[in-house]
Amino acid sequence: MTSLPIHLYDTRRRSVVAFEPIHPGKVGIYTCGPTVYGPQHLGNMRSQLLPDVLRRVLGASGLDVRYVTNITDVGHLVSDADDGDDKVEAAAARTGESVEQITRRWTDQWATDRRRLGCLEPDSVPKATEHIAGQIEMVQVLEAKGHTYQIGDGVYFDVSTFPRYAEFAGLTLDDHEATGRIDNIVDKRHPADFALWKLTPPGVSRLQEWDSPWGRGFPGWHIECSVMASEELGRHIDVHTGGVDHVRVHHTNEVAQSECAFELHPWVNIWMHNEFLDLGGEKMSKSRGHILTVDSLVERGIDPLAFRYFFLQTHYRQQQAFGFDLVEASGTGLRRLTQHATNARDEVGGDLLAPGSAGQRAEELRKQFWSALVDDLNTPKAMAVVSTVARDGELSHADRWSLLGDFDRILGFGFADAASVGSGELGADLGAKEPEVAKLLAARQAARLAKDFATADRIRDELAAKGWEIVDTPQGPTVRRS
C-alpha cells in the first residue's frame, strides 16, 4: 500500500492531482469545524467523515498525519452580508444562557457524535476565542500591506488588492452586484469585501468582545481559520477540507487573507470539499429547523456506525440521497459484514496474519481495495471489494481476517473488538446483563429439546416482542437486539 501514489481532487485546480506532502513523510490536514451555537446534524457529519477517511488513508500510506479542526465560538455572523449578530451571541440572548454554556454543550455534542461515527480524535481542536491575539496580529499584517480599510462598522479586506480573488471559486465578481440580494448596509467599497474585525458600536456591550488597535469588537469569521490553520500546521498547508458550500465565500476569503498576509501562492496545496446530503428536496439546514442528528438515528434503533457505512457507500464529491430507510439498509450491510469479520477473526484466534503470508487471491483483493482508496478516496469501490472479501469462497479464514482487519484501519468499524454472534455480549455476558432474556432463552431451548415446539415458539414470540431476536448457531442459541 505504501507504494501506491495517492491522487486527490483539488477544488482549486478542478482536477484530480497527485498528492505530494510539503514536508517528506508528514502531512497536515485542516478542516473547518462547527460553529457551536446549535446541534450538528448528519449533513455536518459528512464533512467530519471525509477528513477522517482521508487521514486514515494518508496514515496507512506511511505518512505522519497531523489533523486539526477548529471550533468556531465567535465571529460567525447570523448573516454574511457583514451585518447581523454573532451566532453564538444571538443564541445566548435567545436562551438566556451564558456563552460558555452554549458553546460547551454544542462542542460536546459534536465531539460525541463524531466519536460515535467512528472518527479518530483530532490531534488538536483549537478554539477561535483562544486565538484572538493571532487574529488581531494577522489583520495588522494585512493592514500594513495595504489590503484593508476601516469604516465605522469595522476593518474590511479590500478584494481589489488581490487580483486572484475570483480565481479560486471561479467567481464573476459582477454577480455579487447583479443579484442584488445582498443588502449592503455598511459602506463597503465592493460587495465582496469582507469583515476582518467588527467594532462594537458605542454604548453597546457584548458578551464576547476584545480590545484591538481599532477599538473593542470581535474578529470576523474567516480570519480565524487562516490563523489557527497556520499556527497549528505552518503557513503552507497540505490539505484543507470543508463542505462545498464554503468554496464561494469562506474559503475564497481564507485564501485571499492568507495569500496576502503570507505572500504565498498556493497557500493550500489541495482543497477538498464534500458534497451535501440530499434530503429529497427539503434542505437540511439549521435555519429551517430540520435537525437530523446522530441521536435521530439512535432513536430509531440505528447504529451510528451504520451512517459511517452509509457514508462510505457514496463518493464524497457526490450528493448523497438521505433517508432513514437507506441508513437502515446500510445497517443491515454493516451487521452482516461485521459478522463475517468476527467469524473469521474468531476462527483464527484474533491474530492478524503477518504481512506477506496471505494467499495470491487475498493479495489481489488487498491491492484492489487500496487502489480504489488512493484514487481520490473511491470508498464505494473499496466497499465493493470489502463485500467480496467478506464472502469470497476462495479465501481462508486467515486470509479473510487478514484483509478485513487490515481494511478496518480505514473502515473504522472496530472489527477487532466487535462482539461476535454466539459469544461476548450476546452469549457469555447475557446472563449477567439480561437475566430475564437469558432465562427465557434457556426455557425455549429446554422446550425444543423436549419437542415442545408450541412452547418454544411462544417464547420466541415473547422475546421478539421485547425486541430480541433469537439466532440459532452451531454453538447453540443466542439473541441479539432486533
Binding to RNA (CB under 7 A) within 26-45 occurs at: 32, 34-35, 41, 43-44
Site for RNA in 311-370 (CB under 7 A): 313-315, 318-321, 326, 329-330, 332-333, 335-336, 339-340
Alpha-carbon separation of residue 423 from 348, 398, 437, 463 (angstroms): 15, 20, 15, 19
User: C-beta of 293: minimal distance to RNA in Å?
Assistant: 12
Decide whether 237 or 373 has the Cβ nearer to RNA: 373
Q: Does 20 bind RNA (CB under 7 A)?
A: no
Site for RNA in 138-167 (CB under 7 A): none
Alpha-carbon separation of residue 79 from 152, 194, 241, 276, 463 (angstroms): 18, 12, 23, 21, 53
Do β-strands 237-243 and 268-274 pair in parallel, antiparallel, or remain unpaired? parallel
Place of cell 466497499: 383
Q: Tell me, by CB under 7 A, how many residues bind RNA.
A: 84
> Starting at the edge strand that comes first in sequence, how are the strands of the sheet with 268-274 ordered?
64-69, 26-31, 237-243, 268-274
User: C-beta of 346: minimal distance to RNA in Å?
Assistant: 14
User: C-beta of 189: minimal distance to RNA in Å?
Assistant: 15
Decide whether 41 or 66 has the Cβ nearer to RNA: 41
Q: Does 67 bind RNA (CB under 7 A)?
A: no
Cell numbers for 89, please give them: 451571541
- Binding part of the chain for RNA, among 61-69, 211-219, 261-269, 463-471 by CB under 7 A, reads 463-471
Residue 255 near residue 242, CB atoms below 8 Å: no
Closest residue by Cα to residue 1 from 64, 63, 65, 60: 60
User: C-beta of 433: minimal distance to RNA in Å?
Assistant: 20
Determine which residue in the list 215, 234, 380, 424 makes contact with RNA, applying CB under 7 A.
380
Q: Does 81 bind RNA (CB under 7 A)?
A: yes
Residue 250 is classified by DSSP as I
User: C-beta of 211: minimal distance to RNA in Å?
Assistant: 26
Closest residue by Cα to residue 341 from 410, 387, 305, 383: 387
Residue 310 near residue 326, CB atoms below 8 Å: yes
Determine which residue in the list 281, 289, 349, 356 makes contact with RNA, applying CB under 7 A.
281
Beta strand segments in 152-254, E:
154-157, 194-199, 217-219, 237-243
CA 237 to chain centre: 19
User: C-beta of 276: minimal distance to RNA in Å?
Assistant: 3
- Binding part of the chain for RNA, among 17-25, 136-144, 226-234, 307-315 by CB under 7 A, reads 307-315
Q: Does 47 bind RNA (CB under 7 A)?
A: yes
User: C-beta of 69: minimal distance to RNA in Å?
Assistant: 11
Determine which residue in the list 199, 239, 270, 277 makes contact with RNA, applying CB under 7 A.
277
CA 323 to chain centre: 19
Closest residue by Cα to residue 57 from 410, 414, 384: 410
Q: Does 248 bind RNA (CB under 7 A)?
A: yes
Give me the amino acid identity at 431. G
Closest residue by Cα to residue 121 from 73, 71, 45, 69: 69
Site for RNA in 389-448 (CB under 7 A): 390-391, 393, 421, 448
Decide whether 203 or 281 has the Cβ nearer to RNA: 281
Q: What angle is formed at CA 107 by the lines to CA 105 and CA 109, rounded to 5 degrees?
A: 70
Determine which residue in the list 453, 462, 467, 476 makes contact with RNA, applying CB under 7 A.
453
- Binding part of the chain for RNA, among 20-28, 56-64, 272-280, 424-432 by CB under 7 A, reads 272-280
Site for RNA in 179-208 (CB under 7 A): 179, 181-182, 191
Decide whether 378 or 423 has the Cβ nearer to RNA: 378
Decide whether 21 or 46 has the Cβ nearer to RNA: 46
3-state secondary structure of 365: helix
Cell numbers for 65, please give them: 498525519
Decide whether 184 or 235 has the Cβ nearer to RNA: 184
User: C-beta of 259: minimal distance to RNA in Å?
Assistant: 20
Helix H or strand E encompassing 337: helix 324-347
Closest residue by Cα to residue 114 from 69, 75, 73, 76: 69
